[in-house]
């Protein structure tokens, strides 16, 4: 199983380092050909508006949406969640593959970025919490009935799953806790069998 990381902008390199620690082959995805070479994909944090613009050249937005429709497992973090959301505030285009509405930068400015304890569902394995790094994170305003909440911060959903999509409004690539990435990799290995 080869796992891609969308590498147009943002903190994609940190995700490749995590995949390496998990012993999973990673690939920086910048083109349609790169995307065709991977079985799973990480949409990293960064600036969703910039990523949307950069995806246009090779129509990567449409291609990624199409791969998701055909079952490709995805881990979206922070800006990546905004890319997949049904709707976002302020309004901007999206791939519309995750049934959530989000508010961008809803936890305040860069100075309000922080590490906070996320309460985890049993599906992630022990311990039942992890340190979440929140950097100008989006807030989930609504999650549809098909969306399972796997992690909460102060009661609010911050880690979600819908089919093959895992979505974290925090940055699991910035701590040593590999469980969120492992969930993606396990899913990719399982689907590829
Ligand atoms: N503020 C960014 C956005 O709106 C997301 C921040 C992040 O990915 N760390 O796209």
Query: pLDDT digit of tens for each residue in the chain (193 aa)?
Result: 999 999 999 999 999 999 999 999 999 999 999 999 999 999 999 999 999 999 999 999 999 999 999 999 999 999 999 999 999 999 999 999 999 999 999 877 776 789 999 999 999 999 999 999 999 999 999 999 999 999 999 999 999 999 999 999 999 999 999 999 999 999 988 875 5
CA 76, CA 132: separation in Å to the nearest integer? 14
Fold of 2-191: Rossmann fold (3.40.50)
Exposure letters 27-51 (e unless 16+ CB within 10 A, then b): bebbeeebbeebbbbbbbbbbbeeb
Query: What is the 83 CA–ligand 1 centroid distance (Å)?
Result: 10
Shortest CA distance to 94 belongs to which of 61, 68, 69? 61
Locate tokens 């590498």: which residue? Answer: 7
Tell me what pLDDT residue 192 has.
59
Q: Determine the distance separating the centroid of ligand 1 and the alpha carbon of 79, expressed in angstroms.
A: 4
Pairing of strands 25-29, 2-6: parallel
Cβ–ligand 1 contact at 101 (below 6 Å): no
45 lines ligand 1 (CB under 6 A): yes
- Which residue among 3, 78, 88, 181 is the active-site one? 78
pTM of the model: 0.96
Ligand 1 centroid vs 109 CA: distance in angstroms?
A: 11
Backbone angles phi, psi at 59, to 5 degrees: 50, 40
Query: Ligand 1 pocket: which of 44, 82, 171 to mutate (most atoms <8 Å of CB)?
Result: 82
Contacts of 77 (CB under 8 A, 6+ apart): 15, 42, 43, 44, 45, 167, 168, 169, 170, 171, 172, 173
The number of beta carbons lying within 10 Å of the beta carbon of residue 163 is: 15
Packed helices 60-69 and 48-55: angle between N→C axes, nearest 10 degrees: 100
Q: What is the pLDDT of residues 160-174, one digit of tens each?
A: 999 999 999 999 999
pLDDT score of 188:
87
């Amino acid at each position: 199983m080869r796992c891609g990381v969308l590498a147009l902008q943002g903190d994609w390199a940190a995700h490749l380092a995590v995949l390496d620690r998990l012993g999973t082959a990673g690939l920086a995805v910048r083109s349609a050909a790169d995307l065709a070479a991977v079985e799973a994909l990480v949409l990293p944090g960064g600036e969703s508006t910039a990523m949307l613009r950069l995806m246009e050249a090779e129509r990567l937005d449409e291609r990624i949406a199409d791969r998701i429709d055909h079952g490709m497992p995805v881990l979206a973090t922070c800006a990546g969640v905004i890319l997949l959301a049904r709707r976002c505030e302020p309004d901007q285009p999206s791939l519309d593959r995750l049934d959530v509405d989000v508010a961008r930068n809803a936890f305040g400015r860069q100075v309000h970025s922080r590490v906070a304890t996320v309460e985890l569902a049993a599906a992630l394995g022990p311990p039942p919490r992890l340190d979440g790094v929140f950097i100008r994170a989006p807030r989930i305003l609504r999650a549809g009935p098909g969306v399972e909440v796997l992690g909460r911060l102060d009661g609010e959903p911050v880690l979600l799953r819908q089919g093959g999509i895992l979505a974290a409004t925090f940055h699991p690539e910035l701590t040593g806790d590999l469980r969120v990435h492992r969930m993606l990799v396990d899913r990719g290995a399982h689907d590829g069998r």
